[in-house]
Amino acid sequence: MNAIDMQPPSPVEAALAHFPRADGSRTPYGVFTSPEIYALEQERIFRGPTWSFLGLEAEIKAPGDFKSTFIGDTPVVMTRTDAGSLAAWVNRCAHRGAMVCRQLRGNAMSHACVYHQWRYDLEGNLFGVPFLRGLNGQAGMPADFDRAANGLRKLRVESYAGLVFATFSETVEPLADYIGPTMAGYIDRIFHKPVEYLGCTRQYSNSNWKLYLENVKDPYHASLLHLFHTTFNIFRVGMKAHCATDEGHGMHSIIMAIKQDQGETSAAYKDQKIRSFDSGFQLEDDSILGLIPEYEVLATNHIQPIFPQLVIQQIHNTLVARQLLPKGPDHFELVFHFFGYADDDAEMRKLRIKQANLVGPAGYISMEDTEATELVQQGVARDADATSIIDMARDAPEQSDTLITEKLIRSFWAGYQKLMGFGAAVAAEG
């Protein structure tokens, strides 16, 4: 069932990166800097046996609605067909390679390349070629030119709970199986009723895309880097927690932090003299930290990466589908798709917008993330074979109720090694 298992290790890949351990606890820094590895990732990951997140169905509600986006660094377009189904295709004219769709989003019942006006339907089929039969007896396209065989590169598209994914792969399992039952349960938690798209914000970082994936699989950093969390009792390592991966390749994951009385965890921070604790600090307007119960589990944080390009986020009452796009070995872009529920009342919608202050490029509890990933990028400019240490809670693989753990990161790197052909990993931790 898992197509990733079919990738054979190869000496060529082995020469690109050496992972000294199979369990993902030592990652060579070269994976963050090498153009060769980046190029291989485009083939093995983004065009490999994975499903990449493109956007929300709520962004393209009407027939003809479209959005330009990317799978890896390949430009693609997702669109709603006249029949109401979803389609996606590579945004490159079959003729001479120009980008066909030049707008971020819009509505069109067909798409024409401006260069020579080759025209395609919403599914990517070529139907218009100017001067196909020539003009006034002069030759046009050859008699053997077959429009049906020369459309745009079509992608497999599926949606799960209103999230649109596409893949280049003909062999990857259906989307629901790729997500797996454990992760599907957490997606269902957030996407249990129709959502409304509220707009997006974009952030560009001078660091490798995988550093961001490490970040969203790293509950250990949350209360240490993001002082806002601890200062205002939003998120502490002593909170009730849940960390888990999918049951397949182990590269999807969930971190949930669940609210409980914080008395004893404050004491734990004081005891350790960690800079994160500052008891004398109060907000004048603390409505930004409100939490209107919406779900069975009262989590302040739900952070769920679905490999490779989606992170689902619920922080208090802000809801975001973050799209992670690699832009070369040392850059990535994040697109934060904000959403609410279609049945939000005015008060709830107001709170979601207010709590947008917590997340995104100016977010009180997120602005440090790109700072941290860029510090790593700068730190690893040399010494491609030196490795990071990803050991926290390595002796306790069964623990899933702690935030002081790096097991989700280890599971990610173990899966990555396998997918990239960097060597077979042992069974991922539970």
Partner 1 sequence: MGNVVDLGLRQELLALQDAYISTLDTDALEMWPDMFVEDCLYEIIPKENFDLGLPAPVIHCDSKKMLRDRVVSLRNANIFQPVVYRHFISGLSIVTASHDEVEMRSSYLVINTSQLGQSTVYQTGRYHDLVVRGADGWRFKSKRAIYDTSRIQTALAIPI
Residue type, 149: A
Residue 285 tokens read as 């307007």
Exposed/middle/buried for residue 111 (C-beta within 10 Å: 0-12, 13-18, 19+): buried
| Member of 36, 65, 173, 374 binding partner 1 (CB under 8 A) | 374
C-beta of residue 65 within 8 angstroms of C-beta of residue 107: yes
- In whole angstroms, the minimum distance from the beta carbon of 363 to partner 1 comes to 9
- Of 96 and 202, nearer to partner 1 (C-beta) is 202
C-beta of residue 419 within 8 angstroms of C-beta of residue 45: yes
| Member of 3, 225, 258, 404 binding partner 1 (CB under 8 A) | 225
Q: Does 12 bind partner 1 (CB under 8 A)?
A: no
- In whole angstroms, the minimum distance from the beta carbon of 40 to partner 1 comes to 26
Give the separation between CA 359 and CA 235, rounded to whole angstroms: 14
Q: Among candidates 75, 40, 167, which has minimal Cα distance to 421?
A: 40
- In whole angstroms, the minimum distance from the beta carbon of 331 to partner 1 comes to 10
Q: Does 400 bind partner 1 (CB under 8 A)?
A: no
Q: Does 102 bind partner 1 (CB under 8 A)?
A: no
Q: Does 370 bind partner 1 (CB under 8 A)?
A: yes
- In whole angstroms, the minimum distance from the beta carbon of 190 to partner 1 comes to 17
- In whole angstroms, the minimum distance from the beta carbon of 323 to partner 1 comes to 13
Number of shown-chain residues binding partner 1 (CB under 8 A): 38
- In whole angstroms, the minimum distance from the beta carbon of 202 to partner 1 comes to 5
Residue 148 tokens read as 């049906």
φ, ψ of residue 416 to 5 degrees: the values are: -60, -45
Give the separation between CA 170 and CA 69, rounded to whole angstroms: 21
Q: Does 7 bind partner 1 (CB under 8 A)?
A: no
- Of 202 and 270, nearer to partner 1 (C-beta) is 202
- Of 323 and 417, nearer to partner 1 (C-beta) is 323
- Of 252 and 337, nearer to partner 1 (C-beta) is 337
Q: Does 117 bind partner 1 (CB under 8 A)?
A: no
Helix residue spans in 191-231 (DSSP H): 209-216, 219-225, 227-231
Q: How many of the other CB atoms lie within 10 Å of CB of 285? A: 7
Find the part of the chain contacting partner 1 (CB under 8 A) among 262-270, 298-306, 349-357, 382-390. Answer: 349-357
Q: Does 367 bind partner 1 (CB under 8 A)?
A: yes
Q: Does 281 bind partner 1 (CB under 8 A)?
A: yes
- Strand 387-389 with 240-245, pairing: unpaired
**Cβ partners under 8 Å of residue 50, min gap 6:** 167, 169, 172, 178, 307, 308, 419
- In whole angstroms, the minimum distance from the beta carbon of 102 to partner 1 comes to 15
Give the separation between CA 4 and CA 255, rounded to whole angstroms: 24
- Of 210 and 337, nearer to partner 1 (C-beta) is 337
| Member of 14, 39, 104, 292 binding partner 1 (CB under 8 A) | 104
Q: Does 22 bind partner 1 (CB under 8 A)?
A: no
Q: Does 69 bind partner 1 (CB under 8 A)?
A: no
- Of 120-179, binders to partner 1 (CB under 8 A) are none
Instruction: Give 283-341 as a DSSP string.
Output: -S-GGGG-----SSS-EEEEEEEETTTEEEEEETTEEEEEEEEE-STT-EEEEEEEEEE
* DSSP-based three-state secondary structure for 93: coil
Q: Which residues bind partner 1 (CB under 8 A)?
A: 104, 197-206, 225, 227-228, 231, 278, 281, 283-285, 288, 333, 336, 338, 349, 353-354, 356-357, 360-362, 364, 367-368, 370-371, 374
